[in-house]
Amino acid sequence: MPVSEHNQTNTLYYIVNGVKYFNESYVHVANNSSIARQKAMKNNDPLQQRKKSEDNWIAYILEIRASDTYHIYTYVYWMYWPDKLP
């Protein structure tokens, strides 16, 4: 059953894996490229050359909601990468 909007709790912060995330703060977001790079570094594999924007996704947390400790939702505003700016 999908979580409905009315039974979610709006909160100012939430702790996930020991990291406290706040409303109105910036976060780095993992993507497939950054995860593959972390795995390669862990296994001492050679690293592929990459664009800076492939690893550094940045978002601004507008709101955090949770229906319970396992279902946490964030509304974010995606920021531009430095190489995408004019």
CA distance 65 to 8: 6
Residues in a beta bridge with 21: 14
Query: How would you class 68 by CB atoms within 10 Å of its CB: exposed for 0-12, middle for 13-18, buried for 19 or more?
Result: exposed
Name the pTM for this structure: 0.63
Provide the number of structural domains found in the chain: 1
> Which residue, among 85, 57, 61, has the nearest Cα to 75 in the 3D structure?
61
41, part of any domain:
yes
Per-residue pLDDT in tens (0 to 9) along the chain, 86 residues: 344 444 566 667 888 888 888 899 998 888 777 777 778 878 877 766 666 556 668 899 999 888 887 888 889 998 876 666 55
71, part of any domain:
yes
21, part of any domain:
yes
Residue 85 DSSP symbol: -
Containing domain of residue 75, as a range?
A: 5-81
86, part of any domain:
no
Kindly provide the residue ranges of all beta strands, DSSP E only, lying in 1-86, ordered along the sequence.
Answer: 9-11, 13-16, 19-22, 26-29, 57-68, 71-78
Q: Dihedral of the CA atoms 62, 17, 52, 44 (nearest 10)?
A: -170
